[in-house]
Amino acid sequence: MDQNGNAGSSFWQGKSVMVTGVGGFVATHLAADLADRGASVVGVLRDSRGSRRLRLFGISERIDVVHGSIEDYALIERAFNEYEVEYCFHLAAQAIVGIANRAPMSTFESNIRGTWTLMEAARHNPLLKGVVMASSDKVYGDHNVLPYTEDSPLLAKYPYDASKLCAEVLARSYAATFDLPVGVVRCANIYGGGDLNWSRVIPGTIRSMLKDEAPVIRSDGTLERDYMYVTDAVSAYVTLAENLGRDEVRGEAFNFGWGRGYSVLEIVETVLKQGGSSLRPRVLGQNKGEINRQWLDSAKANRILEWSPAVALDEGVRRSIRWYKAYLSGSQDAAKKLAAAV
């Protein structure tokens, strides 16, 4: 389904598509969407945890899976060749800021080495028509002037942020040097059913609320972020890929978000309100290694790609609460049905 709830166009029908990190939250939604559009999807998957998410979303039998690390050049080259990949969505990454701050080496290995490995294999694939790479709004770093535009300086300095900036520079270098058809996605914070990282504010707050426990805010609650529902993120990836044949798109980075920031405390209060809860959060005040304020200007994506987000925060939170209620109740069948309808 597209961002407006309509069946996808015929663009993807019969195309061979690779999704790296396919067991991740956004990648699972993306793989399911592409399969719905008629694509033949192969995912690259490292850990068994991702397999569980594929089963939860009911797509294990709908896609092929190559098991291994994104840093393994021989494995990635084989997958490109044997599955005759035409489009690749590169989402494999260590994406948790706290983990990157505690132990950055594994983040650098996955996010930086994994990216140059994929780009090198991609440039030797004669069938390839496009690579869409997941960067992050974190590459912009701290700015006094918001929202970020694509012309804003890239000031990343913390480990996760720096890893995504390095990966993006590598990807765009392959586009400039080898004419590799690459597009870069810089998304706002993505949320929705299927995100089982409870350290993130929306799933963590929903779980606490459903257990009738006070939600925990690790920061002081003032950090501001742009939040985007997962189906809008999927539409961003798909729309960018469909436009990679255009000169004004190849090698470019695009922002995707709502263009306004919400504090962590506002997000927690929104979840509690939408869930009809009177709980109050417990604030720890641990602001370390994180950007204070960030949100994105998506005018370039709107102008060139005709993309805009469709699911407002209140509606996205309501959908998320429904999904987590089904999941946490142990009703796996209900969670699958909701996952297919997010």
**Closest by CA position to 138, among listed 112, 114, 156:** 156
* pLDDT score, position 8: 47
Q: What's the burial of 4, exposed, middle or buried (CB within 10 Å: 0-12/13-18/19+)?
A: exposed
**What amino acid occupies position 254?**
F
> CB–CB of 118/70 below 8 Å?
yes
* pLDDT score, position 7: 39
> CB–CB of 266/202 below 8 Å?
no
**Mean of the pLDDT values across residues 22-45?**
96
E strands, the chain, where?
16-20, 40-45, 64-67, 87-90, 130-134, 182-187, 189-191, 216-217, 224-225, 227-229, 253-256, 262-263, 282-283
115: Cβ contacts below 8 Å, ≥ 6 apart = 90, 133, 166, 167, 170, 171
Q: What is the percent of the chain where pLDDT is above 90?
A: 80
* pLDDT score, position 270: 97
Cα–Cα distance measured from residue 174 to residue 251, given in angstroms and rounded to the nearest whole number: 9
For tokens 């294999």, what's the residue?
A: 121
342: Cβ contacts below 8 Å, ≥ 6 apart = 29, 192, 193, 194, 230, 231, 319, 323
Other Cβ atoms less than 10 A from the Cβ of 283: the count is: 18
Kindly indicate whether the domain formed by 15-340 is annotated with CATH number 3.40.50.720: yes
**Mean of the pLDDT values across residues 152-157?**
94
**Closest by CA position to 129, among listed 39, 68, 4:** 39
Cα–Cα distance measured from residue 274 to residue 319, given in angstroms and rounded to the nearest whole number: 10
**Closest by CA position to 17, among listed 7, 36, 6:** 36
> CB–CB of 23/45 below 8 Å?
yes
* pLDDT score, position 279: 95
Candidate from 76-80, 103-107, 167-171, 226-230 with smallest mean pLDDT:
103-107
CA torsion sign for 49, 32, 66, 61 is positive
The DSSP call for residue 1 is -
* pLDDT score, position 287: 67
Cα–Cα distance measured from residue 169 to residue 171, given in angstroms and rounded to the nearest whole number: 5
Cα–Cα distance measured from residue 183 to residue 244, given in angstroms and rounded to the nearest whole number: 7
Residue-wise pLDDT for 204-243, tens only, equals 999 999 999 999 998 889 999 999 999 999 999 999 999 9
Residue-wise pLDDT for 87-143, tens only, equals 999 999 987 788 888 889 999 999 999 999 999 999 999 999 999 999 999 999 989
> CB–CB of 272/205 below 8 Å?
yes
Does residue 153 register a pLDDT over 50? yes
* pLDDT score, position 289: 65
Candidate from 42-51, 122-131, 240-249 with smallest mean pLDDT:
42-51
Q: Which helix (H) or strand (E) holds 40?
A: strand 40-45
> CB–CB of 188/296 below 8 Å?
yes
Cα–Cα distance measured from residue 127 to residue 147, given in angstroms and rounded to the nearest whole number: 38
> CB–CB of 71/94 below 8 Å?
no
pLDDT higher at 97 or 54: 54
> CB–CB of 119/171 below 8 Å?
yes
Mean pLDDT estimate for the chain? 92
Does residue 175 register a pLDDT over 80? yes
For tokens 């040097």, what's the residue?
A: 177
Does residue 6 register a pLDDT over 70? no
* pLDDT score, position 271: 98
Catalytic choice (160, 227, 237, 324):
160
* pLDDT score, position 202: 97
Does residue 323 register a pLDDT over 60? yes
**Closest by CA position to 90, among listed 106, 58, 113:** 113
> CB–CB of 74/48 below 8 Å?
no
Cis before 126 (ω within 30)? no
237 among known catalytic residues: no
* pLDDT score, position 231: 97
Q: Where are the domains of the chain?
A: 15-340
